[in-house]
Amino acid sequence: MLRFAAIRILRAVLTIALVVTFAFLVLRLSGDPARSIMGDDASPEAMAAFRREWGLDQPLWAQYLHYFAAILHGELGRSMRGGGPALDLVLGRIPATLMLTLPALLMKLAIGIPAGIYAALHRDSAIDRAVMVTAVAGYTVPSFVLGLVLVQVLAIWFAWLPTGGTGSLQHLILPIITLGVGGAAVLARFVRSAMLEVLGQPYIRTASAKGIPWAAVVRGHALPNAAIPTVTIVGFMVGNLIAGAVVVESVFSWPGLGNLLVVSVTARDLAVVQCILLLVAVAMVLSNLIVDFLYGFLDPRLAEANSTGGH
């Protein structure tokens, strides 16, 4: 178990280091922060001063080493635009994002899992087909399209809800629905196929042959097995709590992390973008770690393989 944990954690740290490196390279090579922040009409001297101040005049490898060393000391840099610590800026936006993504996650779970289970248990019924058609529609329509349609219909035509911005609980409704629908659809499809796979297994027939009522077979024998693959995708959704709302926040002008990311990327505000990406990577890696440990808990076959270092 210890070895298992050590390997997983080492792999997690490595993943984060890779993300940080990749983000650094892409951002440094894709544009000049001095130009995008100072503007095209800034004097060459002011540009040079800006570059010197932020260390942009140094060779790339020196910048990278400096950046990496700073991260190891917990120093994530300052915003080139506002000058404040990037981390404070980023952390300050997280509550707003979670206000959307947490209820959306609950909506995905509350709709997607029961719909998937029901569809699998009533395979090829009218309801199964309806669930699947809805699910395909739900996850093929991009969230910005869905968001715009919802705004057009509910906010503009009927004027029931605000088109965007913040201020009241009503402002939350459209973004949350927009976020939740796609995920619920993905989850419904996934849970359905996981359930169908499990329901076709010989041990389900064994349970029925033992005289266990069907409802108890589903609850006691099928669901625990179907939970194993489902945990993967739910884990991914949990990891996405922080970064999952970039597009929707833009559509609804919601002042969350996604909005900050878009603005910072456009401005090449390196420290802020890197700080967000680091945070997103950490969230993803953490949720993956949790999923790995949950596997061991849900599937005794894996638990044993883990505790003995695999065999």
Q: Which of residues 172-201 bind other proteins (CB under 8 A)?
A: 201
In this chain, which of 43, 61, 202, 311 binds other proteins, going by CB under 8 A? 202
CA–CA gap between residue 103 and residue 180 (Å, rounded): 8
CA–CA gap between residue 90 and residue 93 (Å, rounded): 5
Binding segment toward other proteins, per CB under 8 A, in 21-29, 43-51, 286-294, 295-303: 295-303
CA–CA gap between residue 298 and residue 282 (Å, rounded): 24
Shortest CB 108 distance to other proteins, Å: 24
Query: Given the complex with other proteins, which of 72 and 209 has the nearer CB atom?
Result: 209
Q: Does 126 bind other proteins (CB under 8 A)?
A: no
Query: Given the complex with other proteins, which of 78 and 221 has the nearer CB atom?
Result: 221
CA–CA gap between residue 119 and residue 134 (Å, rounded): 12
Query: Given the complex with other proteins, which of 180 and 296 has the nearer CB atom?
Result: 296
Q: Which of residues 12-51 bind other proteins (CB under 8 A)?
A: none
Query: Given the complex with other proteins, which of 59 and 300 has the nearer CB atom?
Result: 300
Residues 6+ apart with CB under 8 A from 235: 287, 288, 290, 291, 294
Helix (H, G, I), strand (E, B), or coil: what is residue 121?
helix
Residues in contact with other proteins, shown as a per-residue x/- string from 226 to 245 under the rule CB under 8 A:
--x-----------------
Q: Does 300 bind other proteins (CB under 8 A)?
A: yes
Q: Does 170 bind other proteins (CB under 8 A)?
A: no
Query: Given the complex with other proteins, which of 98 and 302 has the nearer CB atom?
Result: 302
Q: Does 205 bind other proteins (CB under 8 A)?
A: yes
Spatial contact of 4 and 297, defined as CB atoms under 8 Å apart: no
Helix (H, G, I), strand (E, B), or coil: what is residue 78?
strand
H-state helical runs in the chain: 2-29, 33-38, 44-54, 60-72, 86-121, 126-140, 143-150, 170-199, 202-209, 214-216, 223-239, 246-251, 257-266, 270-298, 300-307
Q: At what angle do helices 223-239 and 86-121 cross, to 10 degrees?
A: 150
CA–CA gap between residue 123 and residue 1 (Å, rounded): 40
Q: Classify 310 in phi/psi space as left (phi over 0), alpha (psi -120 to 50) or beta.
A: left
Shortest CB 199 distance to other proteins, Å: 10
Q: Does 309 bind other proteins (CB under 8 A)?
A: no
In this chain, which of 225, 240, 264, 274 binds other proteins, going by CB under 8 A? 225
Shortest CB 237 distance to other proteins, Å: 23
Q: Does 307 bind other proteins (CB under 8 A)?
A: no
Query: Given the complex with other proteins, which of 95 and 309 has the nearer CB atom?
Result: 309
N residues, the chain: 311
Shortest CB 220 distance to other proteins, Å: 8
Residues of the shown chain interacting with other proteins in the complex, contacts defined by CB under 8 A: 201-203, 205-214, 220-221, 224-225, 228, 298-301, 304
